[in-house]
Amino acid sequence: MEARYLLETDAGALVTVVNRGLRHAPSGVMVRLNAGEAVDPSLVYFRTVATFETAEPALAWLTRSVVVGTGARHPAQVVIQFWTVT
């Protein structure tokens, strides 16, 4: 999967995010997930790698970092937790 976002920080800086990853589960779980049902996140493999672009000097570290994440799809939202790899 691939998702692209444009974020604006509280300070007004713009950050472009490209998030690529994999999401898979047994077919019955995927049917429920795609139907918008609540599914236990532990039943779904959802991993991502994010890249960032920004002109904001204070956020330049994002453009030089490897960032990985785990995700969970809920009926009304997707939640992704990110970590930088050091």
Q: pLDDT (tens digit, 9 = 90+) per residue, 31-52? A: 999 999 999 999 999 999 999 9
How confident is the prediction for the chain on average, in pLDDT? 96
Would you place residue 11 in the very low, low, confident or very high pLDDT band (cuts 50, 70, 90)? very high
**Nearest Cα to 66, choosing from 80, 77, 55, 82?**
82
Query: DSSP labels for 57-84?
Result: GGGHHHHT-EEEEEEEEETTEEEEEEEE
The residue segments making up the domain with residue 50 are 2-85
- Count of domains for the chain: 1
CATH of the domain at 38: 2.40.160.20
Q: What is the pTM of this model?
A: 0.84
